[in-house]
Amino acid sequence: MTGTRHPTAAQLAAADPETLLPASLALERHGRVAILRLSREAKRNALDDATVLGLERFFSAPPAWAHAVVLDAAGNHFSAGLDLSELTERDTLEGLEHSLMWHRAFARIEQGRLPVVAVLRGAVVGGGLELASATHVRVAEPSAFYALPEGQHGLFVGGGASVRVPRLIGVHRMADMMLTGRVVDAQEGQAIGLSHYLVGAGEGLKKAVELAERIAKNAPVTNFAVLQALPRIAEANPSQGYLLEALMASVASGSDEAKTRMAAFLEGRAGKVGGATDTPDAGRAGGAAS
């Protein structure tokens, strides 16, 4: 497969998604959850053009049966980043275009139709961290480590890290990582916000699939609101933000899905939020306390 062919949207929608995937991406169906796996283990899942363009194609027209995605990686490393062997062949303008291509691909993930849960282990480095930060929920195993070695190579990030990573951990922490080459371990990454969940060794995929299955049960309007509206509201000036929130809330609560779910809730057929566990149905055991 070549990395530069651009199928039309109609072709994409009609095609079997698997036929559009490069060899470096494997797709597995798990009910309504699509497990997409970086599969270039010998290269620690380094991101070459074919892989990045494959991600763009997949998230531009994900399979209709999928309601959530788990982004996993083969082997012991999520991704060691940009495939440096491709880098040396580019002149300045080609480098600029390459960066914009990554931005386009990762924007398809971040602003796509499907919530994406990433499983992080081993190297989440450079472009690997850029890819991880474009997903919506990150589950880390204890082997995960994070770094932005671009600084040590005389480079700068080019896959969106300077926009997305400061929103996760603050500009000041990203500056430290780039200036000093600091490697952040899984524990520290969890504390500062690079991951949302820290689980035991080998438990990342199971946890991610559980979360994705829970997400797949949400009303589509809620997942739309969280992926499309929430980030824009949070970035808006507050007076515009409040109006956007009110409009989004009004659209959601006016949906048939919301009315059905609320009726079920009020009739006691759905759980209340409880404090004892992290499952949304925890309140059930305690009965209708309110």
Active site residues: 130, 150
* Among the residue ranges 13-21, 47-55, 59-67, 164-172, the one whose residues contact a second copy (CB under 8 A): 164-172
Q: Which is nearer to a second copy, 8 or 250 (CB)?
A: 250
Question: Contacting a second copy (CB under 8 A), which of 26, 49, 60, 185?
Answer: 185
State which of positions 92-121 bind a second copy (CB under 8 A).
92-93, 95-96, 99-100, 103, 115
Residue 199 Cβ vs a second copy, minimum distance, rounded to whole Å: 14
Residue 74 binds to a second copy (criterion: CB under 8 A): no
Question: Contacting a second copy (CB under 8 A), which of 1, 191, 201, 285?
Answer: 191
Q: Name residues whose C-beta falls within 8 Å of residue 10's C-beta, 6 or more positions apart in sequence.
A: none
State which of positions 7-36 bind a second copy (CB under 8 A).
none
Residue 287 binds to a second copy (criterion: CB under 8 A): no
Residue 154 Cβ vs a second copy, minimum distance, rounded to whole Å: 3
SS3 of the chain: the string is CCCCCCCCHHHHHHCCHHHHCCCCEEEEEECCEEEEEECCHHHCCCECHHHHHHHHHHHHCCCCCCCEEEEEECCCCCECCECHHHHCCCCHHHHHHHHHHHHHHHHHHHCCCCCEEEEECCEEECHHHHHHCCCCEEEECCCCEEECHHHHHCCCCCCCHHHHHHHHHCHHHHHHHHHHCCCEEHHHHHHHCCCCEECCCCCHHHHHHHHHHHHHCCCHHHHHHHHHHHHHHHHCCHHHHHHHHHHHHHHHHCCHHHHHHHHHHHCCCCCCCCCCCCCCCCHHHHCCCC
State which of positions 204-223 bind a second copy (CB under 8 A).
211, 214-215, 218-219, 221-223
State which of positions 124-163 bind a second copy (CB under 8 A).
125-126, 136-137, 143, 145, 147, 149-158, 160-163
Question: Contacting a second copy (CB under 8 A), which of 1, 14, 23, 171?
Answer: 171
Interatomic CA distance for residues 28 and 219, integer angstroms: 23
Question: Contacting a second copy (CB under 8 A), which of 14, 15, 23, 247?
Answer: 247
Interatomic CA distance for residues 156 and 96, integer angstroms: 12
Q: Over the range 264-288, which residues count as b (16 or more CB within 10 Å of their CB) and which as e?
A: eeeeeeeebebeeeeeeeebeeeee
Q: Which is nearer to a second copy, 12 or 107 (CB)?
A: 107
Q: Which is nearer to a second copy, 20 or 67 (CB)?
A: 67
Residue 228 binds to a second copy (criterion: CB under 8 A): no
Residue 251 Cβ vs a second copy, minimum distance, rounded to whole Å: 7
Residue 159 Cβ vs a second copy, minimum distance, rounded to whole Å: 8
Please identify which residue in the block is written with the tokens 């970035």.
235
* Among the residue ranges 1-9, 16-24, 37-45, 52-60, the one whose residues contact a second copy (CB under 8 A): 37-45
Residue 252 binds to a second copy (criterion: CB under 8 A): yes
Q: Which is nearer to a second copy, 3 or 268 (CB)?
A: 268
Residue 188 Cβ vs a second copy, minimum distance, rounded to whole Å: 10
